[in-house]
Amino acid sequence: MGPEVRIMAINGSPKPKNNTSILLEEAIRGALDVGGVEVERFGFAGKKISPCLGGCSAYCRQHGICAREDDFDEFASMWLRADGIIFGTPIYHMGPPSQVKAALDRLGEIFFASSGGRYPRFCKVGGAIVQGGVRYGGQEVVIQQIIDHFLLMNCLPVTGDMPESYLGVGGFAPNTEYLREDRVARETAYSLGRRVAEMAKIVKAGVQALSAELPAEYFYSRRLPDRNKGTPGSSRGGHERAERGSEGDR
């Protein structure tokens, strides 16, 4: 029995009722079947996540959180405490929906800026599930974009089982029923979820076993700084918000 792991299941659809959840729930089932797995779901539907403004890197660097206060904090906190990520998203214009891209931009920036350009070795295990309305509508392009995000964040991408799942899971939903009956997409989603959980356990056990000899980058604090407590030396109760556009230094 390995360590308990926490898996974050991301649903990138901005719609409350969506096709992404069909494959995501299969992957969650696969992860839970591994045992010793807790799943936390984050759905973009109904969430307000504004884009990165880019001009306030100094704020990110100083505080380790984003200057903009919206639902991104919830996303980032959940991401930080996860050992594995199952990333489901629809395709929008051959990419993820803009809300998803906004969250990834901001996630990258708070850690990039506050770690002096060296991301911590997060080592979260991640897998991508992407579905679109057209058979060749950009599934692999978007899977690759999610994998690139994992790589950039020093995370460890995995795929589902071969022979069907080369990069991740790609689904085709001309309508919801069609996707529901797509055996290959559902089976590969299940196996991808399993592999994320299995590998997350293996990595967590390995990091724990080697803790005495690994550098500090492997042990980044699992919490975001509390924005209500203020920074050391600050005379204010909370973080001062960045002067937008005036601190651009990247």
The residues of the shown chain that bind ligand FMN, judged by CB under 6 A, are 13, 15, 18-20, 90-94, 131-134, 137-138, 173
| Rounded Cα distance, 215 and 243, in Å | 35
Least spacing, CB of residue 24 vs ligand FMN, in Å = 9
| 64 vs 97, beta carbon nearer ligand FMN | 97
| 13 vs 165, beta carbon nearer ligand FMN | 13
| Rounded Cα distance, 31 and 27, in Å | 6
Least spacing, CB of residue 140 vs ligand FMN, in Å = 11
Token pair of 237 as six digits: 């109760």
Least spacing, CB of residue 51 vs ligand FMN, in Å = 16
| Rounded Cα distance, 96 and 101, in Å | 6
| 12 vs 157, beta carbon nearer ligand FMN | 12
| 15 vs 29, beta carbon nearer ligand FMN | 15
Rg (CA), the chain: 18
> In the complex, which residue's CB is closest to ligand FMN?
137
Least spacing, CB of residue 129 vs ligand FMN, in Å = 10
> In terms of Cα–Cα distance, which of 195, 79, 91 is closest to 144?
91
**Pair 88, 122: CB distance under 8 Å:** no
> In terms of Cα–Cα distance, which of 141, 66, 67, 135 is closest to 107?
66
Least spacing, CB of residue 207 vs ligand FMN, in Å = 33
